[in-house]
Amino acid sequence: MTNESYQCIMAQRPEIMQASIGIDYSRYAAGAIAFDYEQLLDDSGYSIEVVREIQSRTAVGNTPLIELNNITQLIRAVSIPGHGARVFVKDEAANPSGSFKDRRASLPVYEAKQRGYSGVVAATSGNYGAAVASQAAKAGLQCIVVQEAFDSKGIAQPEIAEKTCACEAYGAEVMRLSVGPELFYVFLLTLKQTGYYNASLYSPYAILGIETLGYELALQTRQLTGRFPDVVIATHAGGGNVTGTARGLRKAGAVDTQIIAASVDLSGLHMASDRDFNRKSFTTGHTGFAMPFTTWPDRADVPRNAARALRYLDRFVTVTQGEVFYITEVLAALEGLQRGPAGNTSLAAAFAIAQELDEEQIVVVQETEYTGAGKHPIAQLNMARQMGIEVTRGDPHGNKPGVKIVIPEHPTQLHAAEVDLNQMRRSYIHHAIQALPDNQVLSEIDMEFLAAETRTNNAYVENVIHEIHRTS
Amino acid sequence: MTEPVKPGTWVEIYHVILDAGERAPQLPEDTRHLPLEMRMKGWLVETASLNEAAEVKTPSGRLMRGTLVAINPAYTHGFGGPIPELTPIGSEVRALLRNKGLFT
């Protein structure tokens, strides 16, 4: 075994992490599995005012909140009379690299600079890479982005190819890999070889940077309508978007706003499958990330993930690929906004959810993202056809990821499918018990931690544990 | 034998990071039998030929080795032809609002 072999580098994970992110996560351990989540975030030392000030230096944030009047009218046209909430969207495409990920990248890059690192490394195939590259360019730091980019035939996912191009435009070095979770090994090896900073998507800094999004949209909604949003819908993958937005809303005083996560349903496709890689049509905001990360956040590239969606979610829904493509067309045609797929996942859900609400209620879709070559429904559907996927119009219930993409024929067909949050909570607790070190038992602190993690109470957690033991 | 490529040319190199047998244990069947491949770009350090070993200096200043696979590698992603299932949607929803007099 060479000292750079897979096993050898993976075994050095704790030391590489410690050196590359500068946080001693062991300080926050509280029980057999518990850790002090709030302290981990507080110790970063950034108040929301300071974060806003740092972000404003690179023109990050302060994006417009746009009322989607025509889409609201379309919703009302298909709703029960008196129903159909007003829908707004936070136009995060107005950030420097074109997505809310600039907020997420701002503090990690700022920290790297403050701490004297000469460069940053990020493991990401999406907007976050471009955001880190953009922030690093402005800060005068080197940047390496590690992407899962192409399948074994060398065919690149068009959206990821667009991100490669964007990252390179910002002066980043892009390591493009074939399909597989060993991207994490390459990431660790690169951190070790370069001594650069780990600009993880899941560090406290990354999550604190998103809080400004929730904070701004709460205040903007109140300014425009006289009230806080009734519902905020966030596209959900690794959990950072939901976590940061919800925390920001609370900090602005919007404590009663309902937080709904929306993901594209990619059930049946395997995230580490070379065959499925170019059959997903979406690179993020989908269930392939959302399900595993919601039910066990600590699978991230840091020891403790600061994105913990179950702590904040009121509701979780999925939409189909075809519904997202449909609403993307509607947004362009009715609102004059051509935007990328990420925010349109939550917009598709908002279209259905707004129909449940009264006319005076407010729904905010909390992001848009830029669009362009590769990162576009036309490119994705051409790729789908190349991969042998049927593309048709009809009832989106017939959508089958990897086999058939069904574009709705009429707006009445848009539907937000409920994900059972209790099932997510049980799955989370199950993972926590599996993670319990041998010969250790759950203490009172652990029980309280699990209750906070699942937004439940000790009795709920005890019941679930009892159920798990009875059935195992 | 291809034309030698001059130092300083922007190129792409290819390298197998892990052979099939060295990969992570939890992979699905179709991925398990494949190598983990890498492609990256940089400026050629010394004269080399296509499909032969080469060294590049990357944008972050690192020296990386691999097989030279492309010279001035193109960005080939694009939109492609319009999708017939998408093109009518805009007109449909506009008509729906217009017929009901709902455009704001």
- pLDDT tens, position by position, A102-145: 999 999 999 999 999 999 999 999 999 999 999 999 999 999 99
Look at residue A194 and tell me whether its pLDDT is greater than 80: yes
- Point out the domain boundary residue: A147, A170, A203: A203
Q: Are residues A299 and A223 in the same domain?
A: yes
Q: Are residues A412 and A277 in the same domain?
A: yes
- Tell me, yes or no, whether B91 lies in a domain: no
For residue A164, the domain's CATH number is: 3.40.50.1100
- Tell me, yes or no, whether A424 lies in a domain: no
- Tell me, yes or no, whether B65 lies in a domain: yes
- A385 min Cα distance to partner chain B (Å): 10
B75-98 burial, b at 16+ Cβ within 10 Å, e below that, comes to eebebbeebebbeebeeebbebbe
Q: Are residues A53 and A153 in the same domain?
A: no
For residue B11, the domain's CATH number is: 2.30.30.760
Looking at the structure of chain B, the number of domains it has is 1
Give the global pTM.
0.97
Q: How far is CA A318 from CA A72, A353, A364, A406, B67, in A?
A: 21, 12, 17, 15, 43
| ipTM of the prediction | 0.97
Residue A283 DSSP symbol: S
Q: Are residues A456 and A394 in the same domain?
A: no
- Tell me, yes or no, whether A261 lies in a domain: yes
- Tell me, yes or no, whether B16 lies in a domain: yes
- Tell me, yes or no, whether B104 lies in a domain: no
pLDDT digits (tens, 9 = 90+) for A390-440: 999 999 999 999 999 999 999 999 999 999 999 999 999 999 999 998 889
Mean pLDDT value across chain B? 96
Q: Are residues A210 and A199 in the same domain?
A: no
Cα-only R_g, chain B? 24
Q: Are residues A215 and A291 in the same domain?
A: yes
- Tell me, yes or no, whether B78 lies in a domain: no
List, as one string, the DSSP characters of A62-131.
---EEE-HHHHHHHHHTSPTTB--EEEEE-GGGSTTSSTHHHHHHHHHHHHHHTT-SEEEEE-SSHHHHH
CA-closest candidate to residue A63, choices A369, A375, A372, A376: A369
Res. A472 pLDDT band, cuts 50 70 90: confident
**Domain hosting residue B35, numbered range:** 1-73
- Tell me, yes or no, whether B99 lies in a domain: no
d(CA A1, CA A24): 29
CA-closest candidate to residue A245, choices A100, A342, A43: A100
- Tell me, yes or no, whether A14 lies in a domain: yes
pLDDT digits (tens, 9 = 90+) for A280-328: 999 999 999 999 999 999 998 899 999 999 999 999 999 999 999 999 9
- Tell me, yes or no, whether B86 lies in a domain: no
Q: Are residues A65 and A181 in the same domain?
A: no
Look at residue A346 and tell me whether its pLDDT is greater than 60: yes
- Tell me, yes or no, whether B64 lies in a domain: yes
Q: Are residues A217 and A165 in the same domain?
A: no
Residue A247 · residue A102 · CB < 8 Å: no
Contact B39 A176 (CB under 8 A): yes
Residues of chain A with Cβ-Cβ distance to B96 below 8 Å are 74, 77, 411
- Tell me, yes or no, whether A423 lies in a domain: no
Q: What phi-psi label fits residue B74: left (phi over 0), alpha (psi between -120 and 50 degrees) or beta?
A: beta
Q: Are residues A398 and A467 in the same domain?
A: no
- Tell me, yes or no, whether A136 lies in a domain: yes
Looking at the structure of chain A, the number of domains it has is 3
d(CA A199, CA A13): 15
More confident call, A300 vs A148: A148
Q: Are residues A358 and A413 in the same domain?
A: yes
Q: Are residues A314 and A274 in the same domain?
A: yes
Q: Are residues A263 and A382 in the same domain?
A: yes
Interface of A with B in 66-105 (CB under 8 A): 69-70, 73-74, 76-77
- Point out the domain boundary residue: A184, A203, A222: A203
**Domain hosting residue A34, numbered range:** 6-46+104-203
List, as one string, the DSSP characters of A122-138.
EE-SSHHHHHHHHHHHH
Q: Which of A2, A67, A70, A191 is the best residue to mutate to test the B interface, defined by the most B CB atoms within 10 Å of its own CB?
A: A70
Candidates B27, B59, B77; nearest CB to A180 = B27
Candidates B34, B75, B100; nearest CB to A161 = B75
